[in-house]
C-alpha cells in the first residue's frame, strides 16, 4: 500500500498544479474545491506553503462516524470512498482531525484524498510523493 506524503514543502511555490491535477484527473472537474489535496499559505508568502490532505489515519475517524459506510477503512490507514453509499450528512468532515475532508455542497458529497498519487507527477518541485507502507492493500 502507498500513502501520499508532503516530503519537502519548503520547495513549494504555491502553483496548485497538484490541486488541479486531482480535480481534473480524479474528480473530472476544474474546480479548486473538488480536490483531495489543498495547498495554502503557512502564514504569508515568506513562510511558504503547506499541503492539506488525508494523513491515512489508522483507524480513520471519518470512517468511524459514517452512518452508511461510504467511507471504508483501508488496511494500513486511509479510506476508500464509495460515493453511491454517501447520503451527504457531512459527519466525516467534522470528524477529520486535520481538516482534510472538504464538503461539496453542489454534489452533496465529501471530497477526500484516497492516496491514488495522480497529483504527484504534476508537482514541478517534487514536494509530494507516494511512500510505501508496511501493509499491502489486499491484506486484512
Q: pLDDT tens, 34-82?
A: 999 999 998 876 789 999 999 999 999 999 999 999 999 998 899 999 9
- How many percent of the chain have pLDDT more than 90? 81
Whether the per-residue pLDDT at 30 is higher than 90: the answer is no
Q: With bands split at pLDDT 50, 70 and 90, how would you rate the model's confidence at 137? A: very low
Burial (CB count <10 Å: 0-12, 13-18, 19+), residue 22: buried
101-110, 117-126, 127-136: segment of lowest average pLDDT: 127-136
Domains 1-53+116-130 and 55-112 share a fold: yes
Q: To the nearest whole number, what is the mean pLDDT of the chain?
A: 91
Measured in degrees and rounded to the nearest 5, phi and psi for residue 46 equal -75, -15
Three-state secondary structure along the chain?
A: CEEEEECCHHHCCCCCHHHHHHHHHHCCCCCCCCCCCEEEECCCHHHCEEEECCCCCCCCHHHHHCCCCCEEECCCCCEEECHHHCCCCCHHHHHCCCCCCEEECCCCEEECCCCCCCCHHHCCCCCEEEEECCCCCCCC
What mean pLDDT comes out for the span 2-23? 94
Mean pLDDT of 79-108: 95
pLDDT the model gives residue 68: 97
What are the extents of the domains in the chain?
1-53+116-130, 55-112
CATH class of segment(s) 55-112: alpha beta
Looking at residue 72, what is its pLDDT? 95
Query: What's the CATH fold of domain 1-53+116-130?
Result: Alpha-Beta Plaits (3.30.70)
Q: Is residue 139 over pLDDT 60? A: no
Give the residue with greater pLDDT, 136 vs 48. 48
pTM listed for this prediction:
0.86
Amino acid at each position: 500500500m502507498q500513502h501520499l506524503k508532503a516530503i519537502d514543502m519548503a520547495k513549494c511555490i504555491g502553483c496548485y498544479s497538484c490541486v488541479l491535477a486531482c480535480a481534473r484527473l480524479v474528480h473530472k472537474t476544474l474546480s479548486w474545491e473538488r480536490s483531495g489535496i489543498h495547498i495554502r499559505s503557512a502564514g504569508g508568502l515568506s513562510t511558504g506553503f503547506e499541503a492539506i490532505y488525508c494523513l491515512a489515519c489508522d483507524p480513520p475517524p471519518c470512517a468511524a462516524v459514517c452512518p452508511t459506510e461510504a467511507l471504508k477503512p483501508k488496511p494500513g490507514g486511509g479510506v476508500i470512498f464509495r460515493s453511491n453509499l454517501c447520503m451527504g450528512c457531512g459527519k466525516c468532515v467534522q470528524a477529520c482531525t486535520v481538516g482534510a475532508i472538504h464538503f461539496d455542497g453542489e454534489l452533496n458529497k465529501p471530497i477526500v484524498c484516497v492516496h491514488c498519487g495522480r497529483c504527484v507527477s504534476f508537482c514541478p518541485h517534487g514536494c509530494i510523493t507516494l511512500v510505501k507502507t508496511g501493509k499491502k492493500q489486499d491484506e486484512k
